[in-house]
Structure 1
Amino acid sequence: MALDVAERLTELRAAFPALRLYALVDGVQYENHRGERLDDRPGFASLFRGTADGPLAHAGPWLVDIEEAGDAIANDLAGLEREAPSVTWLITEADLHGLAQLLRLHLDVRIPDGRVALLRFWDPRVLASLANVLDPKQRETFFAHIHEWHLLRDGHRVHIGRKHAEA
């Protein structure tokens, strides 16, 4: 896994031992770079599963419980993160299915003309921009269950927390 994120998790667990590490992975990028689709297996949850976009679950965002998925998957995802804008890392106390459900609530947003649009927050480029345009209350709501959300921006590790956005 991303060594800097693993070190940060270890540091945070000294004060918050229940924290867990997840990867949020773009299914299309994974398939394009790994030649295979992500699928349902222990430690993996599609955010599109159970939504109107369910038929596209393979191509959408996948939440991966790093502890359950194992080191080989974690290391592969860390490599993919360096290859393409495809992976972000979440540190939270939530369990896999609870966190997946919470993130599903943010998939659709209503735009000013009343239409609903898909918010691609699993894309690190979108996430960084999103953190910078949300007002403090919106940021608190969006990141309420996330202790820290890590991503690469222009090749540098940054993180977003509930009350700030350094992305």
Structure 2
Amino acid sequence: MHLHERLRELEYNLPSVSWIASRLSPAQLMEHFKPFIDITLYNGKSGLLRFWDPRVANQLPVILEEDQLRELMQGVEEWLYSMERNVQSLKWSMAT
């Protein structure tokens, strides 16, 4: 099975594939997203924000403040992911 077919199968069967449309290079996107991974929880403990996981991405507009979402989505034109076998879209109108 080719990589493209395997990704399609994962996308269809499991919440594990995201597609990001951006003018940024993959290396630039990695650098942009790094600061958003490690977070401090309300109780002072450290946590991992798995924003790349479609189950988490689906909740980002609910759990993040508007300015936090704007900062995360900077440079991202559209973020597509599969959730319960439906394609979902996370967009930010201020993407640069």
TM-score (norm 2): 0.84
**One-letter amino acid of the structure 2 residue matched with residue 107 of structure 1:** I
1:119-158 aligned at under 5 Å gives the runs 119-158=49-88
Which protein, 1 or 2, shows the higher relative CO under an 8 Å CA cutoff with sep ≥ 6? Answer: 2
Separation in structure 1 between the aligned mates of residue 49 and residue 93 of structure 2, nearest angstrom: 20
Percent of paired sites with the same residue: 26
Q: Alignment partner of 1:147: what SS?
A: strand
Superposed CA offset, 1:11-52 (max 9, x none) = xxxxxxxxxxxxxxxxxxxxxxxxxxxxxxxxxxxxxxxxxx
Partner of 2:6 in structure 1? 76
Q: Which of 5, 21, 24 is the equivalent residue of 1:94?
A: 24
Q: Does 1:85 align with 2:15?
A: yes
Cα distance change of structure 1 residues 148 and 157 upon mapping to structure 2, 3 Å threshold: same
Q: Report the alpha carbon displacement of residue 74 of structure 1 after superposing the two structures with TM.
A: 3.0
Q: Is the 8 A contact 2:13 2:85 kept in 1?
A: no
Cα distance change of structure 1 residues 128 and 159 upon mapping to structure 2, 3 Å threshold: same
* Structure with max Cα Rg: 1
Q: Which runs of 5+ in 1 are unaligned?
A: 1-71
The number of aligned residues is 93
**One-letter amino acid of the structure 1 residue matched with residue 53 of structure 2:** D
TM-score (norm 1): 0.51
Q: Report the alpha carbon displacement of residue 136 of structure 1 after superposing the two structures with TM.
A: 1.8
The root-mean-square deviation of aligned C-alpha atoms, in Å, is 1.7
Superposed CA offset, 1:100-156 (max 9, x none) = 111222111111122210111121011101222222211111111211000112221
1:5-154 aligned at under 5 Å gives the runs 72-154=2-84
